Structure 1
């Protein structure tokens, strides 16, 4: 038999981990010296240790591992547990990929700072528009919180527009307003998914919110090309232009969708509009 130190080395685990497995009954030593308390293991116990490590690396809890090894879990139940873990890992990979893309975009922004031109910013008047819209609350203004809210809002809005027969006359417009009590530090915001409709569209029966979106007397605008989770690049240019020209922002930015490719966000084109005024 092997001492706990030698067995830990053979199994490529720590002595502390083996003691923990013994304490919870997951892997008992083959023998324990009644005087010294030293633990000893047989070579064939490496098989159980290897299974514990393999199942643990799949993300299963030690309680689940114990049930599997002690045949308390059926084959179908095991398949279900592993399918669930696979779905969790796929979701995590997707989130990590999105986070990595965001970091790369931020790095590109840092590298471009000081070399970005504000010549593409246009100051213009935005007229009042009759819009149909739906809204919902997002946990924050961050892209990962906005995306899962605004997408379903637009899908539902298009569905309801078909029901009402309202005539769409312009582009989709998204805008965001802090929820009452929000302090602007990552708090909840109300996401408005709107689209311009005919000026004579009646208020309707509540299927959609029909309202007049106020015009903007003086708006600094810029065309952003690409995914909206990289819109901060264009917003930074807009902010620099506002500062350089002695303006202050008024209200909240609007996003007008000019081109939308459901297959590839790289092809998206939006105009960002932000009201400005002289201080």
Structure 2
């Protein structure tokens, strides 16, 4: 048998960690001396501590590891590992997009780009007609907007409908919260559709709006929002509803965020 000190060297974990594993019933010593409370571990537990450390390196939580070991369930381990691979793939995709954005920023700098670039944005008034849309409203992370958009398209095709315009996103929050955003994704559909056919169908009301067209990555849309908000204030108008974006050109049409084209609308009254 090994003392807790010896076992900590074998597993390259602290004795404090081993005591914690004992406390949560993840890895208990095979013997505890009742007189001095010394803990002792067996040869068989060497492979066990090494497996625990391996699964931790894969990113599994201690609770997950405990369930796997308690049940000796290989299928459950496989499920956890598949989920972890999916998480890694999502993270890799995010990092690749980030790398691409950094590369483009470097290219602009090397070609004489400024530290802070500005767009020549023109704000105009536009009267919008009511349109029929299929929609979903959700509280979600901003990075999950594409998932909501995908679900709306699934709803639309399930109902044998076709889009009649670009995707729109309405923002209901008074303050920005990237982790918990209240938004609604809308896709225009045929106006002849019966709105009572589904609770996912609605009439998106029209009315007077102040809007601008922004060309560039979504991360810089705040510039368009600021421009429209200032125009509203300077010209004596008032906000009369939630702002919304219409994505004329997005990731589905180009891989270059600098080529994204988005219209930003604010409903207004005089």
TM-score, with normalisation over the residues of structure 1? 0.65
Name which of 243, 263, 270 aligns with 1:271.
263
The answer to whether the aligner puts 1:115 opposite 2:116 as a matched pair is yes
**1:239 Cα offset (Å):** 0.8
Count, aligned residues: 248
From the superposition, tell whether residues 185 and 55 of structure 1 become closer, same or farther in structure 2 (CA, over 3 Å): closer
Kept in 2, the 8 Å contact 1:11–1:46? The answer is: yes
**Runs of 5+ unmatched residues, structure 1:** none
**Runs of 5+ unmatched residues, structure 2:** none
The answer to whether the aligner puts 1:252 opposite 2:242 as a matched pair is yes
Q: CA RMSD in A?
A: 4.2
The answer to whether the aligner puts 1:234 opposite 2:221 as a matched pair is yes
From the superposition, tell whether residues 152 and 13 of structure 1 become closer, same or farther in structure 2 (CA, over 3 Å): same
TM-score, with normalisation over the residues of structure 2? 0.67
Q: What is aligned with 2:145? A: 146
> Which structure dedicates a bigger proportion of its chain to strand?
1
Kept in 1, the 8 Å contact 2:29–2:40? The answer is: no
Larger Rg over CA atoms: 1
From the superposition, tell whether residues 235 and 26 of structure 1 become closer, same or farther in structure 2 (CA, over 3 Å): closer
Write the mapping of 1:1-279 to structure 2, written as runs, cut at 5 A: 2-22=2-22, 24=25, 26-29=27-30, 32-33=32-33, 35-41=35-41, 45-58=45-58, 59=60, 61-67=64-70, 73=72, 77-78=73-74, 80-97=75-92, 115-119=116-120, 121-140=121-140, 142-157=141-156, 160=159, 162=161, 168=164, 171-176=165-170, 178=172, 184=175, 186=177, 189-195=182-188, 197=190, 201-202=191-192, 204=194, 206-207=196-197, 209=201, 211=203, 213-216=205-208, 219-225=210-216, 230-240=217-227, 242-243=229-230, 246-247=234-235, 250=239, 251-259=241-249, 262=252, 266=256, 268-275=260-267
For residues 233-269 of structure 1, give each alpha carbon's deviation from its aligned partner in whole angstroms, at most 9, with x where no partner exists.
Answer: 0332441465378356623333233235537554643
From the superposition, tell whether residues 215 and 159 of structure 1 become closer, same or farther in structure 2 (CA, over 3 Å): farther
